[in-house]
């Protein structure tokens, strides 16, 4: 009877423990779904996976073999789901969430193995993980972070089973080691520490265990070397491209330290180390392995300069750290030795420490205004979330607007390129061999220091350079080209191409083109109001114009007259107005046209030079008042701009070209003034 009561009591306690565990897993899933997001870098891997599934190979650009990823196994997993017809982003989120839940299960299982008596203490690490912002938000993200976390914890799990407890079998950890390093190369640090611990533990029994050690090495090499041979032969480089792109520099150390310092402040993880280090005092082999491997990994993150995507680097070490924290708290609550305060008093103190640590570690999860302590360039889910909808929209724009052979370039190598087959040059070099191997000219954020030079972009016939994430769908205030391709959607870009070419390309397909808030037209086929006012300056003189001052000389510039003229682009014909008289900005002056009648709908012209309102400008004057004005953009490229003049139709006007500025960019360029009338 007594035994049955005990069994019933135990079963009820176990039932309650496992019920709480399932509730905590549910809470973790809830928080992860609440934070669900997709980072731009995730789309880089998806582009590789998509091309692989479609039969183009494991490549970023079709026909170019560049190893611009560091998560081979993750991309293969995504490809598998792609072969089955699943959406890549959904598959990435599912795998991340599944890995996160499985990690919690394994943490709880290993905690029960280490502490099988009072299992309610084993809920401590699960409680902390389920409420930790780093663990829950990076359960998604689209990257391999959560999957790598799972593999790493399995590796720790196997260490406990193979090294601490049962030393008869070592093969499985060798297989996990290969999977770990195939998912992220920095898994090598944990593997090396594991191997050193294995040698240390077996140091007095090397003869007995040498066969098992050699077997472990053999399994690792047999599985890993074929991949290495394939990788080198396929991509043609021993060193992966991403290594060139993120090569360590001395200035990374200071950035890395600031990154780690931010993590210390935001995570309070140093509090997690107090109980295990105090109560185990480096006498527990498993605790030693966790602490030492974690320390080496942290030093690595400092050496490479940290990361810009929140604290994803540190997510993989959270489960083992919180596991030993839970074990340490168990010792804290059940401490008998050195207990001079009394059991109840000590437990109250331990409970207060646990509650305070939990509140500090978890507060960011439930604070909607929380942001990482930004000592460097740390982002968060609020800054880097790029929904797949946006990637689909930009791909839809490409399909409507671009030709298959149009080459694109940009600093975001993920979502702008993921669903298109147009060649895309990563201007930061992660997926581009040439840019990745350039020298760093200005130290900055790791992986974001190298920029594709203009000469390289022009050599590769780049049609459009895409701006940052905030501009891709555009707005009328963006100082770039934007093409309206749908009711309220704009394709935004910059380009080195001639403006006429850009305008003709899109208007010929029926789209409207804007630049700096003004609509551009292909007026080569539009009715033009004929005038003999020398508005194109092709007479080679200032006939029908009144000249004041010295800035405009006595005649328009010829295309090769001035020493700076090779820099001047996009003028029409042979002559154009140029107030850079005597190769200097110190002269001032004014050109005033004879009066003429406004008969068209738009007045279109080309303008370059300085951006000084009222000082370097072209003005439309009616009744002695300036009714329209425009300046250059501090550029020698003459941009096509226009004025809507329908409200002034049949009025008499004059054009005034002014240079009254003597500082930098104190000149103006004007050419090809036309009145256009729509049919």
545-564 pLDDT tens trace: 999 999 999 899 887 554 44
Residue 410 pairs in a beta bridge with 426, 466
Band the pLDDT of 507: cuts 50, 70, 90: confident
For the segment 17-37, the average pLDDT, to the nearest whole number, is: 95
Question: Is residue 472 scored above 50 in pLDDT?
Answer: no
55-64, 89-98, 293-302, 377-386: the lowest-pLDDT one: 377-386
Taking the complete model, does pTM exceed 0.95, yes or no? no
What is residue 106's predicted lDDT score, i.e. its pLDDT?
Answer: 97
What pLDDT, on the 0 to 100 scale, is given for residue 446? 72
Question: Among 264-278, 450-464, 528-542, where is mean pLDDT lowest?
Answer: 528-542
Q: Which residue has the higher pLDDT, 240 or 382?
A: 240
pLDDT (average), residues 296-323: 90
pLDDT at 627 over 90: yes
Q: Residue 260: CB partners within 8 Å, gap ≥ 6?
A: 298, 301, 302, 306
Average pLDDT, the chain: 86
What pLDDT was estimated at residue 200? 84
Is the model's pLDDT at 86 over the cut of 90?
yes
pLDDT at position 334 is 78
pLDDT top residue among 541 and 8? 541
Question: Which two three-digit tokens encode residue 470?
Answer: 């905030």
Write down all domains in the chain, each with its CATH number in brackets.
14-366 (no CATH), 386-520 (no CATH), 545-676 (2.60.120.940)
Specify the 3-state DSSP secondary structure of 668.
Answer: strand
- The strand pair at 512-515 and 557-558 is best described as unpaired
Average pLDDT over residues 513-518: 77
Q: What is the mean pLDDT of residues 572-586?
A: 87
Q: What is the mean pLDDT of residues 649-671?
A: 94
pLDDT for 564 equals 47
> Half-sphere exposure of residue 461, counting CA atoms within 13 Å on the CB side?
5
pLDDT in tens, 398-419: 888 899 999 999 888 888 899 9
Contact (CB, 8 A) for 75 and 104: no
Q: Which helix (H) or strand (E) holds 454?
A: helix 454-459
Collapse the DSSP code of 566 into the 3-class scheme (helix H, G, I; strand E, B; otherwise coil) and give the result: helix
Task: Determine what percent of the chain is predicted with pLDDT higher than 90.
Answer: 49
How much is the average pLDDT of 261-286? 84
Q: pLDDT digits over 131-181, tens only?
A: 999 999 999 999 999 999 999 999 999 999 988 887 667 789 999 999 999
**Lowest mean pLDDT across 28-37, 61-70, 273-282, 473-482:** 473-482
Buried b (16+ CB within 10 A) or exposed e, 507-546: beeeeebbbbebebbbbeebeeeebeebbbbeeeebeebe
Residue 473's pLDDT is what? 37
């Amino acid at each position: 009877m007594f035994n049955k009561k005990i069994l019933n009591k135990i079963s009820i306690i176990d039932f309650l423990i496992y019920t709480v565990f399932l509730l905590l897993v549910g809470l973790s899933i809830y928080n992860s779904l609440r934070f669900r997001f997709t980072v731009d870098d995730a789309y880089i891997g998806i582009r590789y996976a998509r091309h692989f599934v479609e039969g183009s190979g494991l490549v970023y650009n079709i026909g170019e073999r560049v190893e611009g990823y560091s998560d081979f196994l993750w991309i293969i997993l995504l490809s598998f789901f792609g072969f089955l017809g699943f959406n890549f982003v959904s598959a990435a989120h599912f795998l991340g969430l599944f890995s996160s839940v499985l990690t919690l299960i394994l943490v709880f299982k290993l905690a029960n193995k280490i502490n099988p008596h009072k299992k309610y203490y084993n809920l401590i690490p699960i409680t902390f993980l389920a409420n930790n912002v780093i663990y829950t938000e990076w359960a998604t993200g689209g990257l391999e972070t959560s999957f790598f976390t799972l593999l790493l914890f399995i590796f720790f799990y196997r260490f406990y089973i193979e090294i601490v407890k049962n030393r008869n079998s070592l093969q499985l950890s060798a297989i996990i080691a290969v999977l770990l390093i195939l998912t992220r190369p920095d898994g090598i640090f944990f593997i090396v520490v594991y191997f050193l611990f294995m040698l240390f533990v077996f140091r007095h029994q090397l003869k007995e265990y040498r066969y098992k050690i050699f077997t472990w090495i053999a399994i690792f090499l047999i599985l890993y070397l074929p991949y290495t041979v394939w990788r080198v032969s396929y991509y043609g480089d021993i060193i992966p491209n991403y290594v060139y792109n993120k090569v360590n520099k001395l200035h990374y150390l200071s950035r890395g330290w600031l990154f780690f310092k931010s993590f210390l402040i935001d995570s309070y993880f140093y509090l997690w180390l107090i109980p295990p280090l105090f109560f185990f005092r480096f006498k527990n082999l498993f605790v030693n392995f966790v602490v030492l491997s974690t320390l080496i990994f942290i030093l690595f993150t400092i050496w490479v300069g940290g990361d810009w995507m929140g604290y994803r680097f540190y997510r993989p070490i959270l489960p083992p750290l919180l596991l030993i924290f839970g074990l340490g708290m168990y010792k804290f609550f059940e401490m008998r030795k050195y207990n001079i305060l009394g059991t109840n008093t000590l437990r109250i103190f331990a409970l207060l420490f646990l509650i305070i640590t939990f509140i500090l570690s978890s507060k960011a999860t439930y604070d909607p205004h929380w942001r990482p302590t930004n000592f460097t360039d740390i982002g968060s889910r609020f800054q880097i979330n790029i929904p797949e909808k946006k990637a689909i929209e930009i791909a839809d724009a490409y399909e409507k607007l671009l030709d298959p052979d149009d080459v694109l370039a940009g600093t975001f190598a993920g979502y702008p390129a993921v669903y298109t087959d147009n060649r895309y040059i990563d201007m930061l070099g992660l997926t581009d061999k040439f840019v990745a191997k350039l020298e760093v000219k200005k130290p900055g954020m790791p992986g974001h220091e190298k920029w594709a030079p203009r000469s390289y972009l022009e050599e590769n016939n780049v049609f459009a350079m895409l701006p940052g994430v905030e501009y891709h769908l555009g707005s009328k205030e963006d100082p770039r080209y934007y093409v309206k391709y749908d009711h309220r959607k704009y394709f935004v870009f910059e380009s080195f191409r001639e403006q006429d070419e850009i305008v003709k390309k899109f208007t010929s397909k029926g789209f409207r083109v804007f630049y700096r808030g003004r609509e551009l037209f292909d007026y080569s086929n539009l009715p033009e109001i004929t005038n003999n006012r020398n508005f194109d300056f092709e007479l080679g003189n200032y006939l029908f114009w009144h000249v004041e001052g010295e800035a405009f000389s006595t005649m328009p510039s010829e295309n090769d007259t001035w020493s700076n003229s090779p820099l001047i682009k996009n003028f029409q014909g042979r002559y154009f107005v140029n107030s850079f008289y005597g190769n200097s900005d110190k002269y001032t002056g004014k050109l005033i046209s004879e009066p003429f009648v406004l008969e068209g709908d738009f007045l279109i012209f080309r303008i370059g030079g300085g951006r000084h309102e009222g000082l370097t400008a072209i003005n439309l004057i009616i009744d002695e008042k300036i009714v329209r004005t425009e300046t250059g953009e501090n550029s020698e490229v003459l941009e096509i701009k226009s004025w809507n003049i329908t409200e002034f139709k049949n009025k008499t006007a004059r054009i005034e070209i002014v240079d009254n500025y003597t500082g930098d960019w104190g000149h103006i360029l004007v050419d090809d003034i036309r009145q256009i009338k729509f049919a």
